[in-house]
Structure 1
């Protein structure tokens, strides 16, 4: 009688997965950043989309005296104002999101398609907002630095001496530095090489390098061109005559500060449209509220390694 050899097999992974449900995440998007600048600014609501910055005229000519004991001889003075201050108008960052109703109806489990489409669109709009706050040709930070508030690096790489000189410019209650992550890394290397490694500070649950107690806030919206970038130092707040963000309150279909999402209807091709709008601007209330370190080199790894070995 011949031996009967039975083939023993088991259910394979591929076949088994036909009966299982995969746990699905919401869509991930690598362009989303923390947008620290938006969190750290004081935001001022604007009536009718216009914000006027009034300033004192001939501010150094105000007469006061404390040398005379004769009360009959007192200086007389008054504070004059510029007739028309600079007016800032809110800028609109907007787009129209289209979602086919068939997609929304059939494929909204476990994640709602319209909600996720809106979430990712809003994130993109907010990323553009931060970029405009820094780079806009009219109100962006880089284009509103007074010439007297600009500092050039001594050796290309950002050093503690450079940041100290920037602090000397914005010395009235500076709030934070704003720099590209690679510029912050370059500063950290230079400071460490000199034996003064920058301490860290915890904000919003994250760690930041600091210098003289001021955090270096990273943003990728400060561009790097030919290996060079800029570092900003800001004083913030209306009461401190600093830098303030501007937004329009009480928008129709407002979702968050200055942001609205409006349903525009469904067209004859069964496509639902949503208008996503964000209204914002930025104002520098006094010249000494904003300083700039120019020509910051970030591509000097070879020089750093060479100096370190020496």
Structure 2
């Protein structure tokens, strides 16, 4: 007996979709992060790409006394300056974006291809900027910590005692802790285990754990290796003699401070090119504006108290 095909009683989903307009999202870039560090730093404009950090030489030699009635006993002194201050040069994070004109002409609805390509490339450059601010071997935060400002954990996992030790190093108006999200989670567990769960504070519409009123700011750019990471504590701002970000103002094609986009023309192969550049650096004005907690263990945590691996 011959097989009979099933009778189709109505229009099927597959065929119907051919007449439907799909709602198309803009491209989603999974590597985008909040980049809190760049939001929380004070940014100082730098002329000609050079920032000279002048410092007082031997500040302990500046002598003042509580004078007695005899003014002949008044001390004399002067404030000396370092003769070879450090100079910071802005670092460029750059790339050239290529877009075929045929693509931008034919496929720019509902989303403009050039606009989206620029947006995603700029986001990636800004992610690289935050990584450089933390990890650059010349000016990054981790490379700028003075040896006297290094702290090591008491037990491995980050504890309230360790964070208090950091606060003893950066005690003049500390602004925020900066560390990997895994370290914040480990610190929260340790606080809860001790019965002192850390309170939270709202910044930029987001919630942050705090310790002694100082927010713990997460960044996935703080490196994690072999189950260990670092915790930084910063004082920020020019007036506080803290950590400041540096940027070049007034760039041609400036899109945001320090970031420019310049059209480079169309090649004979109909490729439109755009130069995207971001110029930045970072300076630690005084040694006690920055401290680091080294070798913080953030290994796997088990659901049993006091059990880490």
Q: How far apart in 2 are the matches of 1:306 and 1:146?
A: 36
**SS in structure 1 opposite 2:191?**
helix
Written as runs of structure 1 = structure 2, the 5 A alignment for 1:56-205 is 56-205=56-205
Q: How far apart in 1 are the matches of 2:91 and 2:58?
A: 31
Aligned to 2:219: 219
Q: How far apart in 1 are the matches of 2:69 and 2:199?
A: 52
Q: How far apart in 1 are the matches of 2:263 and 2:108?
A: 18
Q: CA deviation at 1:307?
A: 2.3
Q: How far apart in 2 are the matches of 1:63 and 1:192?
A: 49
**SS in structure 1 opposite 2:11?**
coil
Q: How far apart in 1 are the matches of 2:177 and 2:162?
A: 12
Contact 2:67 2:74 in 1 (8 A): no
Distance 1:8 1:156, change over 3 A: closer
Unaligned runs of 5+ residues in structure 2 are 1-6
CA offsets 1:16-52 (integer angstroms, 9 cap, x no match): 1111100100000110000000000000000100000
TM-score under structure 2 length normalisation: 0.96
What is the number of residues matched between the two proteins?
Answer: 302
Unaligned runs of 5+ residues in structure 1 are 1-6
Q: How far apart in 2 are the matches of 1:73 and 1:306?
A: 66
Contact 1:169 1:288 in 2 (8 A): yes
Q: How far apart in 2 are the matches of 1:305 and 1:100?
A: 57
TM-score under structure 1 length normalisation: 0.95
Task: Please give the root-mean-square deviation of Cα atoms over the aligned residues, in Å.
Answer: 1.3
